[in-house]
Amino acid sequence: MATSDTKVTMLQGLLRFKGAVFPGVFISFSLLSFAFLLFMTLYLAQNSDLFTALDSGIIGLLKFTLYQATLSTILSLLVGVLLAWALAHQSKFKGRSLLVALFSSSLVLPTLIVVFGLIGIFGRSGYLNEMSLFLFDHSFGSYLYGLGGILLAHVYLNASYASRALLHSFESIPKEKYKLAKSLNFSVFERFLYVEYPAIKATFLSIGSTVFLLCFTSFAVVLLLGGNPSYNTLEVAIYEAVKLDFDIALALKLALVQLSISAVLVVLSSGFRTGLSNLKTSVTAIPWKESRVLGMVQWAVIGLFTLFFILPLVVIVLDGIGADFSRILGDALFVQSFITSISLATVSSFLTVLIALLLSNARRGFTLSTRLGSKPFSKVLDALIAFSGNLYLAIPSLVMGLGFFLMYQKYDGSQVLWSAMALLTANVLMSLPFALSVLTPAMHKTAQRYDKLAFSLGLKGFTRWKYIEYPYIKSSLAYVFALAFCFSLGDLGIIALFGSDEFMTLPWYLYQLMGSYRTTDAAGVALVMLVLVLGVFILIPRMFRGEM
Amino acid sequence: MFKIISYFFLATLFVFATEKPPLTIYTYDAFAASWGAAPKIKVAFEKENDCKVKFVGLSSSIVALRKIQLEGKKTKADILLGIDTNIAEVAKKTGLFLSHNLNTSNLDLPFPYDDDTFTAFDYSYAAFVYSENKVKNPPHSFEELVSMPKDFKIVIQDPRSSTAGLALLLWVKSVYGDKAGEYWKRLAPYILTITKGWSEAYGLFLKGEADMVLSYTTSPAYHIVDENRTDIKSAPFKEGHYGQIEVAGILKSSTHKVCAKEFMHFMHSKTFADIIPIGNWGYPVIKGSKPLHPAFDTLHKPQKMLLIDGVVVEKQRKAIINEWLRAIQK
């Protein structure tokens, strides 16, 4: 009898919460079927046996991809931990919060812009070489192209992001533990090993696995700085197979290898990936100063990284100001790509917010005990929804692009339409993991706090949303919207497959300019993108908080 | 804001609706550029024929071919111009191109090329180009090239995307045969970078990033004629030079077949032959109305032209490229 009871209550519960749960479940299943369709499209389109066809070329690619991803992850984590550690212990200085905010903005900086800035500093005719040529009559040459450049860019993009999340863990260490460490006369190393490492371990592993996945599937950085077929990752090889060789069979083979490995990596790391960490944190200072030497080391770490982080951005501004903006703004291709990028970013950020809300609404429905949390199947459904929101980590964008490309060839419809659809899907999926990591906890908390009150008052549907959820999660919504907007605006992934003179986004336009050595125009466009991205990322959340 | 966007949208629709699309020619960027041959050819062709022409420049001719393959039957291109005989077989195999029905037996080529689908419009020889002011002792053979000082850097093009890069690959293959892979291993340390197309590589060279660039024996003419600069030279190689015959073909899906055929015909006119040497910096395939510009007398014209037949190239292309990839991969 007990089982039929739970069945009845499960059904009743589902009916009661249908408005909250069904849209999310529906979307989640749509996403999963999309992934399945994509996989089948790729799998059916390739005719040779995947496992016998792994020739030495692919093995070589795979080796380099894993090698650079491993090195990038280790370096990014090393720098990230050092920086977070230094910032945690130097908790009181002017501009610290600004600096921390700047580091967290690295998440939305378009890869292409970062690379452009890095070339400006470290390139063969960059500032560093020019300066050294002027001072010592010696040029370091073109060390940036190749593994060195790839590592540098990956550390730039990921170390700041890692440090932001790690700083949060450092700051949540109870101050009593530091007191204890001090009274036990721990050395810095012992203090790190016994007090700090256990506290940051979870974040460390979680961030580490995410950074590894991002570097493993890195496209724009390798495309721009690889500079040589000997430094290819699987993603770039897929792009080259389609665009240079028109060897769809090879592209499929590579895509399936890439897909299988990232899927395995996602499953393996899901144990310690606790969701991409929320970027909001509070500061509580450690009540004593570090020793002089240690303080100096920490200052050096902060200073060096800040220089490393800010200089490429400064170069973009300096080089960009000198550009001929009347010519750039008058270029029909610029106007076209600007409008395309802004439209895509707007639509995809609205979609991201909507989908993330529906998914997190369904998830809280399945986890909270006031709702369906205690019911059977709830756990499974919750896990499925969570996985569907993180699809992007398992399906790299070029693989997705290839799937769309095959569908475009198979079915009718204009290229522009298919391109727009491919880009929108990729951009939404790319933003979802970050959107969910912000919105899920917020939605969860509102329900925990107000469910009983809302149920007793009979608040439902839009009224409940207006009085309960919206005021509480307003600022998170704005943050997610801005994040998705910037991701979409800066994305140089699928567009590499679909870009043409009829369908062009700002990053693709900039990439074309860089390829044709129209450096001053490129600098101007890079500046436009930088201002746009930082402007949106800073202003939109403020607008929602009513600070404007 | 929304209003403005919708007006803009309507305006673009209007433009698309009223203007009949011109004869669209996909080619490489150096040809289509404002300083390339395209603007002069457009003017001359439109004066003699009742057709409007539009050149679309891609980062290389192979990229232009791939774009046509990606677009398939939906492509806007009517003509593909600028691939060479080494890759023309790949283009033919796509089945997207039409027979031209031109008589090509009277063409003045150092190497006969008679194909029913593609037809030649200029030719040149692959060569390394350097500045006399910077390089005092240029190499005169492939062996001398790999015994240059360690900091001597060259820029080459990716043979998968650039006909120049493919020409070098086949050049080395014709000289070294089975030892080609081993030679590439020795050459690898001298390669600064491998670009997707010719213009990117040449741009790097002119910016002073590299000592030598893979280009053509005719490239110095550009600097003499347009820039009055005589320090840019091509290095004569003892082994002989690999030839590049550039060709064009009409798409089956073209909606401008009459204009397209007229254009193909125009490529073998004296007007075209006058423009090509000082517009695209290559030798014309028929005699022009005037003798060649005197700058061409100063150029090195190789005694020996190496060229592998296109059909043979196509059979071995994948294998040669893989051999190259393995050799330069670190």
Mark whether B21 and B129 lie in a shared domain: no
pLDDT at A270 over 70: no
What's the whole-number mean pLDDT along residues B255-278? Answer: 94
pLDDT at A349 over 90: yes
Q: What is the pLDDT of residue A108?
A: 86
Tell me if ipTM is over 0.85: no
Q: Which of residues 139-168 of B touch A (CB under 8 A)?
A: 151, 153, 158, 160-161
Q: Which two tokens stand for residue B180?
A: 């080609």
Chain A hits for B149, Cβ within 8 Å: none
pLDDT at B5 over 90: no
Q: What is the DSSP string of A74-132?
A: HHHHHHHHHHHHHHHH----TTHHHHHHHHHGGGTS-HHHHHHHHHHHHSTTSHHHHHH
Mark whether B49 and B14 lie in a shared domain: yes
| DSSP character at residue A282 | -
Mark whether B91 and B131 lie in a shared domain: no
What's the whole-number mean pLDDT along residues B103-127? Answer: 90
Mark whether B116 and B148 lie in a shared domain: no
Q: What is the pLDDT of residue A181?
A: 85
Structural contact between residues B16 and B22, judged by C-beta atoms closer than 8 angstroms: no
Q: Write the pLDDT tens digit of every residue in A139-151.
A: 666 677 788 889 9
Mark whether B186 and B324 lie in a shared domain: yes
Mark whether B138 and B252 lie in a shared domain: no
Q: What is the pLDDT of residue A281?
A: 44
Which of residues A453 and B240 earns the better pLDDT score?
Answer: B240
Mark whether B261 and B141 lie in a shared domain: no
In degrees, rounded to 5, the angle at the alpha carbon of residue A506 between the alpha carbons of residues B55 and A426 is 110
**Any idea which of A74-83, A449-458, B86-95 has the lowest mean pLDDT?**
A449-458
**Spatial distance between the Cα atoms of A80 and A78, rounded to a whole number of angstroms:** 5
Q: Write the pLDDT tens digit of every residue in A14-68.
A: 666 767 778 888 888 888 888 888 878 777 776 655 555 557 678 888 888 999 9
Total structural domains within chain B = 2
Backbone angles phi, psi at B122, to 5 degrees: -165, 170
Q: What is the pLDDT of residue A282?
A: 46
Nearest Cα to B114, choosing from B105, B123, B124? B105
Say if A346 is an interface residue toward chain B (CB within 8 Å). no
Structural contact between residues A242 and A402, judged by C-beta atoms closer than 8 angstroms: yes
Mark whether B32 and B118 lie in a shared domain: yes
Smallest Cα distance from B195 to chain A, Å: 7
Mark whether B257 and B143 lie in a shared domain: no
**Any idea which of A143-152, A266-275, B40-49, B225-234 has the lowest mean pLDDT?**
A266-275
**Spatial distance between the Cα atoms of A533 and A518, rounded to a whole number of angstroms:** 22
Assign residue B94 the CATH number of its domain.
3.40.190.10
What's the whole-number mean pLDDT along residues A306-328? Answer: 89
Do the chains contact at A125 and B72, CB–CB below 8 Å? no
**Any idea which of A115-124, A125-134, A162-171, A475-484 has the lowest mean pLDDT?**
A125-134
Smallest Cα distance from A62 to chain B, Å: 13
Burial class (CB in 10 A: 0-12, 13-18, 19+), B263: buried
Mark whether B308 and B294 lie in a shared domain: no
Nearest Cα to B1, choosing from A115, A339, A543, A332? A339
Do the chains contact at A57 and B151, CB–CB below 8 Å? no
Across the A:B interface, residue pairs with CB atoms under 8 Å apart total 75
Nearest Cα to A352, choosing from A437, A420, A279, A415? A437
pLDDT at A413 over 80: no
**Spatial distance between the Cα atoms of B52 and B58, rounded to a whole number of angstroms:** 20
Q: pLDDT band at A280, cuts 50/70/90? A: very low
Domains present along chain A, CATH in parentheses: 67-229+273-321 (1.10.3720.10), 323-548 (1.10.3720.10)
pLDDT at A286 over 70: no
Provide the mean pLDDT of chain A. 82
**Domain hosting residue B200, numbered range:** 124-243+302-328
Which of residues A418 and A409 earns the better pLDDT score?
Answer: A418
Say if B136 is an interface residue toward chain A (CB within 8 Å). no
Report CA dihedral (A363, A364, A369, A375) to the nearest 10 degrees. Answer: -20
Q: pLDDT band at A271, cuts 50/70/90? A: low
Q: Write the pLDDT tens digit of every residue in A78-134.
A: 999 999 999 988 887 888 888 888 888 888 889 889 988 998 888 777 788 778 777
Burial class (CB in 10 A: 0-12, 13-18, 19+), A413: exposed
Q: Write the pLDDT tens digit of every residue in A193-213.
A: 888 888 888 888 888 888 998
What's the whole-number mean pLDDT along residues A488-514? Answer: 87
Say if B22 is an interface residue toward chain A (CB within 8 Å). no
What's the whole-number mean pLDDT along residues B238-252? Answer: 95
**Any idea which of A155-159, B67-71, B176-180 has the lowest mean pLDDT?**
B67-71
Mark whether B144 and B224 lie in a shared domain: yes
Q: pLDDT band at A156, cuts 50/70/90? A: very high
For residue A519, give the chain B residue with the closest CA: B203
Nearest Cα to A361, choosing from A260, A295, A435, A255? A435
Q: Write the pLDDT tens digit of every residue in B16-33.
A: 444 567 999 999 988 988
Burial class (CB in 10 A: 0-12, 13-18, 19+), A47: exposed
Q: Write the pLDDT tens digit of every residue in A233-250.
A: 888 888 888 888 888 888
pTM of the model: 0.82
**Spatial distance between the Cα atoms of A82 and A442, rounded to a whole number of angstroms:** 30
**Spatial distance between the Cα atoms of A436 and A483, rounded to a whole number of angstroms:** 12
pLDDT at B98 over 90: yes
> What percent of chain A has a predicted confidence (pLDDT) above 70?
87
Q: What is the pLDDT of residue B59?
A: 80
pLDDT at A368 over 80: no
Mark whether B86 and B223 lie in a shared domain: no
Q: Which two tokens stand for residue A231?
A: 């430094």
Q: What is the pLDDT of residue A8?
A: 54
**Spatial distance between the Cα atoms of B10 and A546, rounded to a whole number of angstroms:** 36
User: Taking the CB of residue A107, how many other CB atoms lie within 10 A of it?
Assistant: 18
Nearest Cα to B272, choosing from B284, B261, B257? B284
Q: Write the pLDDT tens digit of every residue in B195-216.
A: 888 888 898 888 787 899 999 9
For residue B56, give the chain A residue with the closest CA: A501
Smallest Cα distance from A232 to chain B, Å: 9
Q: How far is CA B178 from CA A453, B140, B174, in A?
A: 82, 22, 9
Say if B317 is an interface residue toward chain A (CB within 8 Å). no
